[in-house]
């Protein structure tokens, strides 16, 4: 009889323990993301995060000869060549040809500084190319990318020269 009582008491305590732990469990918490304070944060001392579009410091130092399009040094100059640079009354245009390898251009930004006849920087324009995959295989990737940057209406007739450079170039 004593064994039955011990066995019954043990079973009762075990059932009470299971009920208590199950009642305290909240499955809904498993569906919630961790609190932002619990997320991993990475910091690099001295590294200032980007605050805008990439540019080239040399644009402000250029003084291109009126009627010309100069080039501004940038971080990717060893990977491409400019060609067909031109300035007319409404646009700065040209093309870049990737020379580092033959692969698709994924991201490209060309910036153009627009200058008046005294060499003063009036405006900075930008051409942006984003690679889009259209599901078709067109053979070898195109390593030449034409660009055109419009002159804003408020500067029409005042732009005498331009300078171009590449702050962003990503290819496969």
Q: How confident is the model at residue 115, as a pLDDT?
A: 98
User: Region 83-106: what's the mean pLDDT?
Assistant: 91
3-state secondary structure of 9: helix
When pLDDT is cut at 50, 70 and 90, the band that residue 148 belongs to is: very high
What mean pLDDT do residues 88-100 have?
94
Asked if pLDDT for residue 124 goes beyond 70, the answer is yes
| Mean pLDDT of the region 49-55 | 74
Ramachandran quadrant class, 129 (left: phi over 0; alpha: psi -120 to 50; beta: rest): beta
Least confident of 22-26, 93-97, 142-146: 22-26
Phi-psi region of 171 (alpha: psi -120 to 50; beta: other; left: phi over 0): beta
- Record: fold of 57-171: Immunoglobulin-like (2.60.40)
Q: Residues 30-50: what's their mean pLDDT? A: 67
What letter would DSSP give residue 27?
Answer: T
pTM of the complete model: 0.67
Average pLDDT over residues 84-98: 96
Q: Is the pLDDT of residue 140 over 60?
A: no
């Amino acid at each position: 009889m004593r064994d039955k009582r011990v066995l019954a008491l043990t079973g009762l305590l075990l059932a009470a323990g299971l009920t208590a732990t199950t009642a305290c469990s909240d499955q809904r918490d498993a569906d919630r993301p961790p609190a932002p304070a619990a997320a991993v944060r990475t910091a690099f001392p001295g590294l200032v995060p980007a605050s805008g579009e990439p540019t080239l410091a040399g644009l402000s130092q250029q003084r291109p000869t009126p009627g010309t399009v100069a080039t501004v040094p940038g971080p990717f100059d060893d990977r491409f060549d400019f060609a067909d640079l031109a300035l007319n009354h409404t646009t700065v245009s040209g093309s870049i040809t990737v020379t580092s390898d033959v692969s698709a251009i994924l991201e490209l930004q060309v910036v153009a500084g627009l200058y008046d006849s005294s060499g003063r920087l009036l405006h900075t324009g930008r051409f942006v190319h984003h690679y889009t995959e259209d599901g078709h295989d067109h053979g070898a990737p195109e390593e030449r990318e034409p660009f055109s940057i419009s002159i804003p209406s408020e500067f029409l007739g005042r732009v005498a020269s331009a300078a171009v450079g590449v702050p962003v170039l990503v290819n496969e």
